[in-house]
A and B are shown apart, each in its own frame.
Chain A
Amino acid sequence: VTVTRAASRGGGTAAPPRPRRPGIGAVELFILVLLVTVVLRGWLVGATSSARAQTWLTIFVSIVIQATPFVVLGTVVSAAIAALVPPAFFARVLPRRPVLAVPVAGVAGAVLPGCECGSVPIAGALVRRGVTPAAALAFLLSAPAINPVVLVSTYVAFPGRPAMVAARLVASLVASVAMGWLWLRLGRSEWLRSPQRPELAGLTRGTAFVAACRTDLVQAGGYLVIGGLTAATLNVAVPPRWLHTVAGHPLLSVVALGLLAVVLSICSEADAFVAASLTQFSLTARLAFLVVGPMVDAKLFAMQAGTFGRRFAVRFAPATFVVAVAAAVVVGTVLL
């Protein structure tokens, strides 16, 4: 906790412009934060020695470490889109009519192996490259849910139940495309902060690529930290026992596992194994867990707010939750 405070205090004092040599203060402050941490190390270890605090810290850093390679991959891909792909490219490959571009982008999500943290910066880069936001959002939601790695791990986690894989694929795709169309119908462009980056225009490709990597990486990483802190706090604060009191109720159990997916913020490559172990819940409820998790969770919310703005995230995330749960209920009733 103290580290957090020290770092955020640091950011606060780093920000005001220095009259003479702007920004030098931030670098010095960075070094100061490192030194202070070294000096206070013994005290920090003592202050976090309780089992609860250690569990909280372990889950927090685990989420960050686990997600970082995917964030790096997503950043490199999005930087490549920003710096190397010509702006007209996506206009050519995607159908011109947004209504058709949405399902195409949703299906295209299947080619990006990885979990949800990587797809947020990529969706941001797609919007900047002129892809209609509705299609980029369908891609954002479908990519972490329907890529081959996730489907294979679902297959392994539910031995003897291939219908679970089909149900996950169909329900996730339906929910992503529905959200894309919903955005076409109800979305307003002023909710979406789509950062233009004119400053990349005058640079060589290599310099633009490195600049895009750097800004995307520290930004996505920063919001990932907010998400990791939230998820770890919820993970330690919410006692898992309450879940089992609603397991028997057909509708409540679906909503409860949807909410659990939001709270836990598990990587979409791993969530199937957790779902498999929730044996006292119906398959439809567990499907809801698998459909909601890659689309809405505590960690993703922070990252989406960072990329597209808070005004976007507070509308998009709850709507996605409702649509994802509904898709899971319908598909689960038909297929499972």
Chain B
Amino acid sequence: VRRELHALILALLGATLFKLAWTGQYTRYVKPGVRGYLYAASVVALAVAAVTLWQSLARRRVAVPAHTDQGHSDSHHHSDDIGLDDGHGHQHGRFDVAWLLVVPMLVLLAIAPPALGSFSAARSGTALGAAPASNLPPLPDGDPVSLSVLDYASRAVFDHGRSLTGRHVTLSGFVLPGDAGTWYLTRMVITCCAADAQPIKVGLAGTVPDGLKPNDWLQVTGSYTTQQDRDPVNQAAIPFITVTSSTPIPTPARQYES
């Protein structure tokens, strides 16, 4: 019965969402704040699937005696209609669009595509956006101080590095080859999901390690430099950092900044 197929598809949907939220795999695709909504959606999908399957099991159990009971078989017939006809005049023999919902779930479970990296970052211009409020908060304490790539780039471009001068900063991101042998330390920034991801790029000057490959994750320590570059895609300013030391790091659990 189509109703039971739909229940199974919803069970697959609910189980997949639950697995994504539980394992943290969801941070490759959506912002961290979505976790609670994923659990909620997963519970609704699993509940609808469970109620539906339970109802059809119960109906099957009464189905045999129902043949002798006119009233029973009448009500049975009624509810069976919902399953067969989804209210859009579908007939048997037409493709049931619900099958498509299986595709992304199997992609997530079997392939588990990785977070966006240098392929996307190279296609889009650095996205510093509108200038934030003119007075940035002072740099936090620490020597070196850990900053997000977005924070560093904003301070370097909009504040002309005023809050950065004289300080050692640590940044981490993946590397992206630029024109003329430059490497950009890059982080993707997402607001909702990976479809709106945009890169923030910071050029590496000073002692840049040899043998880098695109998508390698790197932690660099260095200081502000006035050097800037223009992003070939959108002509936006790309600030630089003079690197004094750098270490390769494993891919972090949360690859996006937001």
Enumerate chain A interface residues (CB-CB to B < 8 A).
3-4, 7-8, 10-12, 14-17, 22-24, 26-27, 30, 33-34, 37-38, 40-41, 44-45, 48, 51-52, 54-55, 57-66, 68-69, 72, 76, 115, 153, 157-161, 193, 195-197, 199-200, 202-203, 207, 210-211, 213-215, 217-219, 221-226, 228, 231-232, 235, 239-241, 244, 264-267, 269-271, 273-274, 276-277, 279-280, 306
A199 & B81 in contact (Cβ 8 Å cutoff): yes
The 0/1 profile, CB within 8 Å of A marked 1, for residues 104-122 of chain B is 1011111101111111100
B208 at interface by CB-CB < 8 Å: no
Question: Which of A214, A267, A271 is within 8 Å of B48, CB to CB?
Answer: A214
Q: How far is the CA of A266 from the CA of B30 in the complex (A)?
A: 12
Q: How far is the CA of A34 from the CA of B26 in the complex (A)?
A: 21
Minimum Cβ distance to chain B for residue A87 (Å): 16
B249 at interface by CB-CB < 8 Å: no
| 23 pairs, CB–CB < 8 Å, chain A vs chain B | A7-B106, A11-B96, A12-B95, A15-B93, A30-B102, A45-B111, A51-B117, A54-B114, A55-B120, A60-B107, A62-B193, A66-B34, A157-B130, A200-B82, A211-B79, A214-B3, A215-B87, A217-B10, A222-B97, A223-B97, A225-B101, A266-B192, A279-B130
Minimum Cβ distance to chain B for residue A249 (Å): 16
B251 at interface by CB-CB < 8 Å: no
Note all chain B residues with C-beta closer than 8 A to A225: 100-101, 103-104
Q: How far is the CA of A73 from the CA of B50 in the complex (A)?
A: 18
B164 at interface by CB-CB < 8 Å: no
Minimum Cβ distance to chain A for residue B205 (Å): 24
A267 & B102 in contact (Cβ 8 Å cutoff): no
B94 & A221 in contact (Cβ 8 Å cutoff): no
Question: Which of B9, B195, B198 is within 8 Å of A218, CB to CB?
Answer: B9
Note all chain A residues with C-beta closer than 8 A to B181: none
Which 9 A-B pairs rank lowest in CB-CB distance, beginning with the nearest?
A222-B97, A270-B192, A66-B193, A218-B98, A62-B194, A277-B127, A270-B191, A51-B119, A69-B37
B92 & A219 in contact (Cβ 8 Å cutoff): no
Note all chain B residues with C-beta closer than 8 A to A69: 34, 37-38, 40-41
Note all chain A residues with C-beta closer than 8 A to B133: 159-160
Q: How far is the CA of A224 from the CA of B193 in the complex (A)?
A: 15
Greatest chain A CB density within 10 A among B52, B114, B120, B131 is at B120
Q: Are A207 and B114 CB-contacts (below 8 A) given A55-B119, A59-B194? A: no
Query: Other than the known A27-B8, A54-B113, A221-B100, what 9 A-B pairs have Cβ atoms closer than 8 Å?
Result: A10-B102, A33-B102, A40-B110, A55-B116, A57-B113, A58-B115, A65-B30, A193-B89, A274-B196
Question: Which of A48, A159, A235 is within 8 Å of B132, CB to CB?
Answer: A159
B113 & A37 in contact (Cβ 8 Å cutoff): no
Q: How far is the CA of A11 from the CA of B87 in the complex (A)?
A: 18
Chain B interface, DSSP helix/strand/loop, else mixed: helix
Greatest chain B CB density within 10 A among A22, A24, A37 is at A37
Question: Which of B37, B96, B130, B131 is within 8 Å of A14, CB to CB?
Answer: B96
Note all chain A residues with C-beta closer than 8 A to B44: 72, 76, 213
Minimum Cβ distance to chain B for residue A229 (Å): 8
Q: Are A37 and B129 CB-contacts (below 8 A) given A15-B93, A59-B194, A217-B10? A: no
Greatest chain A CB density within 10 A among B82, B123, B234 is at B82
Note all chain A residues with C-beta closer than 8 A to B196: 264, 266-267, 270-271, 273-274
Number of A-B contacts (CB under 8 A): 275
B23 at interface by CB-CB < 8 Å: no
A58 & B113 in contact (Cβ 8 Å cutoff): yes
B29 & A203 in contact (Cβ 8 Å cutoff): no
Shortest Cβ distance from A38 into B: residue: B110
Greatest chain B CB density within 10 A among A51, A62, A159, A200 is at A62
B86 at interface by CB-CB < 8 Å: yes
Which residues 24-50 in B have Cβ within 8 Å of A in the complex?
A: 26, 28-30, 34, 37-38, 40-41, 44-45, 48
Minimum Cβ distance to chain A for residue B67 (Å): 16
Q: Are A7 and B100 CB-contacts (below 8 A) given A17-B92, A37-B110, A271-B196? A: yes
A276 & B129 in contact (Cβ 8 Å cutoff): yes
Minimum Cβ distance to chain A for residue B86 (Å): 5
A279 & B236 in contact (Cβ 8 Å cutoff): yes
Note all chain B residues with C-beta closer than 8 A to A269: 191-192
Question: Which of A61, A72, A231 is within 8 Å of B40, CB to CB?
Answer: A72
Q: How far is the CA of A116 from the CA of B102 in the complex (A)?
A: 22
B229 at interface by CB-CB < 8 Å: no
B156 at interface by CB-CB < 8 Å: no
Shortest Cβ distance from B52 into A: residue: A214
B70 at interface by CB-CB < 8 Å: no
Q: How far is the CA of A156 from the CA of B113 in the complex (A)?
A: 31
Note all chain A residues with C-beta closer than 8 A to B12: 34
Question: Which of B88, B120, B233 is within 8 Å of A244, CB to CB?
Answer: B233
Q: Are A203 and B92 CB-contacts (below 8 A) given A30-B102, A240-B125, A274-B198? A: no
B55 at interface by CB-CB < 8 Å: yes
Q: Are A15 and B102 CB-contacts (below 8 A) given A54-B113, A279-B130? A: no
B233 & A213 in contact (Cβ 8 Å cutoff): no
B45 & A217 in contact (Cβ 8 Å cutoff): yes
B52 & A210 in contact (Cβ 8 Å cutoff): yes
Note all chain B residues with C-beta closer than 8 A to A271: 196
Q: How far is the CA of A30 from the CA of B102 in the complex (A)?
A: 9
